[in-house]
């Protein structure tokens, strides 16, 4: 084949390979291509030297070369967060990522990386679940093949169990329903939409779970019809169930700040007490500062019973320590609670935060609630 024809044949092969992986290039004769970049100017590349090198190899290897060229470009762009093409293809020497893909494949599950640390798993119903695997990959750096394969297999087994719980269609008894708080980041992307959850406070969702002696699992929205409940009824049943769980209420002082502590050793549903917090606090003309750093604890300070800035600093420090010491934190945020409920029947919780520079004696208040600042000023 004449050199010009061989060059044209490989460039056509390269263009069709780009297209197969979701990139429609524009030819820039004689040997150039323009690649569209979302949100940016297109990228122009001259493949003259690459073509010359490839044509020095047997034609039966050209398809493999074209694929590796395309994969290299997808890796380069997606490593920078640019969503070009179908996926992020790991290098053949990338032990951790390839071990994960192989482990899913061995279980008959389709999976691919869309970005270096983001794994997308396709469920049997076609739903894609995105999972951040940065920590797992970091733990496998420098590992041997056997260690990587075992860690990947363990990860897939854990993933399958969580997916099984989410997709289970066997309706649990109504009396097993409980309300539990989770951080918004607790579930892989694509999973939360399938669960019975609702926004509860900044960065926190309330989830209906089924609690049995064998397991505790989030309730799938598809199970509502089997239970004969509406979404509102399911949440009401779950909150009622959580409130039936025993708790211990005590009063303590952290320095000069009185705190009401509501807890249950090993409990998962103490946070539900936020639905009836007034019952535990007594008179609360100005509301209370509350934190709920982990499932078995809620702490509150009734505003007006101590200096409010000192109270905010104290509770912020307490909740940060709690979150650091627990393996299943809910939130390290501080909230202003007021009696009554929102139009959705949820506790009235506004995120608040204070920063104090004790050297300059300056105070910075952070909140989106326009009523909190004037209230704070009136209590000082």
Structure confidence by residue, pLDDT tens digits, 262-297: 999 878 999 999 999 999 998 899 999 999 999 999
Q: What is the pLDDT of residues 9-29, one digit of tens each?
A: 999 999 999 999 999 999 999
Residue with tokens 């590349």: 45
Distance CA(328)–CA(259), nearest Å, equals 23
Question: Cβ neighbours of residue 167 under 8 Å, at least 6 residues apart?
Answer: 123, 125, 194, 220
Q: What is the pLDDT of residues 325-363, one digit of tens each?
A: 888 899 999 999 998 888 788 999 999 999 988 888 888
In the chain, CATH 3.30.250 sits at 95-167
Q: What is the pTM of this model?
A: 0.61
pLDDT reported for residue 162: 73
Decide which of 3.30.250, 2.40.50, 3.40.50, 2.20.25 is the CATH code for 95-167.
3.30.250
Q: What is the pLDDT of residues 25-43, one digit of tens each?
A: 999 999 999 999 988 899 9
Q: How sure is the predictor about 171, in pLDDT bands with cuts at 50, 70 and 90?
A: low
Nearest to 338 by CA among 329, 325, 346, 347: 347
């Amino acid at each position: 084949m004449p050199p010009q024809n061989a060059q044209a044949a490989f460039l056509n092969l390269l263009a069709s390979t780009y297209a197969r992986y979701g990139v429609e290039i524009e030819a820039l004769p004689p040997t150039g291509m323009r690649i569209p970049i979302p949100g940016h100017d297109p990228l122009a590349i001259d493949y003259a030297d690459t073509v010359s090198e490839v044509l020095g190899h047997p034609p039966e290897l050209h398809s493999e070369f074209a694929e590796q060229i395309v994969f290299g470009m997808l890796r380069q762009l997606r490593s920078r967060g640019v969503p070009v093409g179908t996926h992020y293809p790991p290098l053949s020497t990338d032990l951790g990522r390839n071990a994960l893909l192989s482990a899913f494949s061995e279980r008959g599950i389709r999976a691919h990386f869309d970005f270096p640390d983001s794994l997308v798993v396709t469920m049997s119903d076609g739903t894609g679940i995105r999972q951040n695997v940065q920590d797992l990959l970091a733990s496998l750096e420098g590992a041997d093949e056997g260690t990587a394969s075992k860690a990947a297999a363990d990860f897939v087994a854990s993933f399958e169990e969580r997916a099984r719980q989410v997709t289970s269609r066997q309706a649990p008894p109504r009396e097993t329903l409980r309300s539990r708080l989770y951080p918004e980041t607790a579930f892989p992307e694509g999973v939360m939409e399938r669960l019975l959850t609702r926004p509860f406070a900044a960065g926190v969702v309330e989830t209906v779970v089924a609690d049995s002696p064998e397991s505790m699992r989030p309730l799938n929205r598809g199970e509502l019809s089997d239970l004969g409940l509406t979404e509102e009824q399911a949440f009401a049943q779950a909150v009622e169930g959580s409130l039936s769980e025993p708790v211990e209420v005590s009063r303590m002082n952290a320095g000069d700040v009185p705190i009401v502590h509501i807890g249950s050793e090993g409990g998962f549903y103490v946070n539900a007490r936020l639905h009836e917090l007034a019952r535990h606090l007594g008179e609360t003309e100005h509301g209370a500062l509350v934190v709920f750093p982990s499932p078995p604890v809620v702490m509150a300070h009734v505003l007006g019973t101590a200096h409010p800035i000192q109270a905010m600093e104290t509770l912020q420090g307490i909740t940060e320590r709690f979150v650091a010491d627990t393996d299943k934190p809910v939130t390290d945020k501080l909230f202003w609670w007021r009696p009554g409920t929102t139009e959705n029947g949820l506790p009235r919780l506004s995120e608040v935060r204070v920063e104090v520079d004790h050297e300059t004696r300056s105070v910075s208040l952070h909140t989106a609630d326009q009523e909190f600042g004037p209230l704070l000023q009136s209590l000082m």
